[in-house]
């Protein structure tokens, strides 16, 4: 019951929890050429994964309630990992840490990420198990939570990919990335 309440709370505020992290990044950022290249690579991979995922799942991934989700997506990146959006978030955040040259925040990121996302994922999994039953149970047994497998799920859903749907859903994330990276560089000039 308590873990469900924690999961619900983190689910509802997940868009705001990065704010203290971003403030620390902006304050301590000292990017250099090689950290910019490495960080940008992780940011690009994380955002590519997010675009690929929301191109299948749609804007319901921005919902504040679990019931807003479309039926279970098991194709695209969901065929390799159950939580591609959360993995994408991690890679994006890691990329910003690396770009900023603030390595100690990587430890904060890892701890904070798992403290926040494990209760959210547990809540989502309980919901999906209740609403999708044995279909989700089979999917959960064959597709890992966070570390992608190399071969796709054997029973992919018939969801289609839409680049327009992906860009519409990712507008806020793309804007946030540009703003944070822009502020990191602006701080260096000032």
Q: Where in the chain are the domains?
A: 2-189
Q: Greatest CA separation found in the chain? A: 57
Tens of pLDDT, residues 95-154: 999 999 999 999 999 999 998 889 899 899 999 999 899 999 999 999 999 999 999 999
Task: Give the residue from 29, 4, 74 showing the smallest Cα distance to 188.
Answer: 29
CA distance 7 to 111: 16
| Residues contacting 142, CB < 8 A, separation 6+ | 153, 154
CATH code, residues 2-189 = 1.20.120
CB environment 142-165: b (16+ within 10 A), e (fewer)? bbeebebeeebbeeebebeeeeeb
The 10s digit of each residue's pLDDT in 45-93 is 999 999 999 999 986 655 444 554 557 999 999 999 999 999 999 999 9
Q: What is the model's pTM?
A: 0.87
């Amino acid at each position: 019951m308590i873990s469900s309440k924690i999961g619900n709370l983190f689910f509802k505020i997940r868009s705001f929890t990065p704010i203290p992290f971003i403030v620390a990044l902006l304050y301590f950022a000292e990017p250099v050429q090689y950290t910019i290249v490495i960080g940008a690579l992780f940011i690009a991979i994380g955002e590519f994964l997010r675009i690929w995922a929301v191109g299948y799942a749609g804007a319901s991934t921005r919902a504040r309630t679990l019931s807003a989700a479309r039926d279970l997506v098991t194709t695209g990146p969901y065929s390799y990992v159950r939580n591609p959006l959360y993995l994408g978030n991690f890679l994006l955040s890691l990329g910003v840490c690396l770009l900023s040259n603030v390595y100690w925040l990587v430890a904060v990121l890892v701890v904070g990420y798992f403290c926040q996302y494990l209760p959210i994922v547990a809540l989502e999994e309980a919901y999906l198990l209740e609403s999708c039953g044995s279909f989700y149970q089979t999917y959960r047994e064959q597709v890992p939570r966070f570390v992608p497998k190399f071969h796709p799920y054997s029973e992919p859903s018939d969801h289609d990919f839409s680049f327009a749907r992906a860009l519409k859903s990712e507008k806020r994330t793309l804007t946030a990335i540009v703003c944070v990276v822009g502020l990191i560089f602006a701080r260096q000039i000032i």
